[in-house]
Amino acid sequence: MTLVDHSNTTPLDAEVAATAAPSKAAPGSNPTLVLLALAMGGFAIGTTEFAAMSLLPDFAPDLGLDPPTAGHVISAYALGVVVGAPVIAVLAAKVARRTLLIGLMCLFAVGNGLSALAPTYGWMLAFRFLAGLPHGAYFGVAALVAASLVPRERRSQAVSRVLLGLTIATVVGVPLANGIGQFVGWRWSFGLVALLALLTAVLVRVHAPLGEPAEGASPLRELGALKRGQVWLTLATGAIGFGGLFSVYTYLASTLLDVTHASPAAIPAVLAVFGLGMTIGNLVCAWAADRAQMPAAGATLVWSAAALALYPFASASLWTLTPTVFLIGCGCGLATILQTRLMDVAEDAQTLAAALNHSAFNVANALGPWLAGLALAAGFGLPATGWVGVALALGGLAIWSISVLLERRSQAARAIDMERSEAAPLGYKMRD
């Protein structure tokens, strides 16, 4: 006789269970207001991350820099994200989540406030690196807090509300910061972000639950996430698969001017369409992930590859390029799916794994443009950035496939072990 376990659930320790189920909120706290407060931080981060690229022509001459050298300021911020996410997550393992979020936003405010006052290129590099340090840790911890406010089957949608702040920033915050930079001065744009960060700190203090660290939390336990293969596969899926979006976004303005021959005035509008795609994709993918997480991730990667494949053919006309850019932006929803996926595979090292998700996406932010730049240097032309994006999306899909295959094998092995453990005491003879 063969016994079969029909359960689809796996054991979760106290930390995972706390993330998956609603937490005990602070007296009078409202989940909607908590999510709004967390999204405000995402709005501030998204504004400075993307607006800094558009402000490059403004701060470069003021600091006596040529454009390539000024680009290092953007890289310094990304490096801060990659370094800060794991370091802060590990060192702050025993800090209450609300306290940590407030501290991160205060550090973010300081970094951007100092960026607004930077007197030289060297100081600007240092201040942008400082501003990038809390980026990944903030999103990681905010995602855990958001997920703790709702039932398990709505985690992805709660996380998407936090990331909604970032995507809306690409539609509203970036044009606003760019306009301030052009008409008042680029320093005021960074000052605006510092004020938004301080506002977030206040909102989090007022509305968010304390979120005491789990029993036994420690830096060593957080580092345990690095021992889990599924954590690495999930991070690699984002680092590779998401690179395609950045390979196109980085050179989108140049494509509009040199290939589409659009007016410079069309660039903000097309970038806003891209941001609108990111916003809608974030919400739709979160809804799908709460119903079928890994299939949703695979489908999003296929969508991205298909949309990026349209890009080279659509780039000749503004009428075809604009809807294609919207479709590519929808692939941003992968971020929400992988954020929730890490909650499932990180076991008791939730904070580090959640923060590393944003380190992975900043690796994608560096990898995509670099590979696209190589294609341009080889003479393939700006539309070819779409083909680079296709290759990266398919690379992410390949890693996703490996993750699914290994997980199925692991589940099958656990089912066999459970059969044997249940049948053996009853004297059942197991059949092959």
**Residue carrying the six token digits 């670099």:** 370
pTM confidence score: 0.78
Share of the chain above pLDDT 90, in %: 35
Report pLDDT for 299: 95
Report pLDDT for 368: 85
pLDDT tens, residue by residue, 46-90:
888 877 776 777 788 888 877 667 777 877 888 888 888 888 888
Distance of CA 233 to the CA centre of its chain: 16
How far apart are the C-alpha atoms of 198 and 378, rounded to whole Å?
Answer: 46
**Residue carrying the six token digits 């996926």:** 341
Report pLDDT for 101: 94
Phi-psi region of 324 (alpha: psi -120 to 50; beta: other; left: phi over 0): alpha
Section 179-195 average pLDDT: 87
pLDDT band at residue 3, thresholds of 50, 70 and 90? very low
Report pLDDT for 19: 45
Q: What is the mean pLDDT of the chain?
A: 83
Section 130-138 average pLDDT: 92
pLDDT at 358 exceeding the cut of 90: no
pLDDT tens, residue by residue, 258-273:
899 888 778 878 888 9
pLDDT at 11 exceeding the cut of 60: no
How far apart are the C-alpha atoms of 421 and 415, rounded to whole Å?
Answer: 10
How far apart are the C-alpha atoms of 252 and 250, rounded to whole Å?
Answer: 6
Q: Which residues, 6+ apart, have CB-to-CB distance to 287 below 8 Å?
A: 156, 157
pLDDT band at residue 402, thresholds of 50, 70 and 90? very high
pLDDT at 149 exceeding the cut of 80: yes
The answer to whether residues 301 and 393 touch, using CB atoms and an 8 Å cutoff, is yes
Share of the chain above pLDDT 70, in %: 87
pLDDT band at residue 378, thresholds of 50, 70 and 90? confident
Section 149-175 average pLDDT: 86
Where do the domains of the chain lie, and which CATH numbers do they carry?
14-217 (1.20.1250.20), 227-425 (1.20.1250.20)
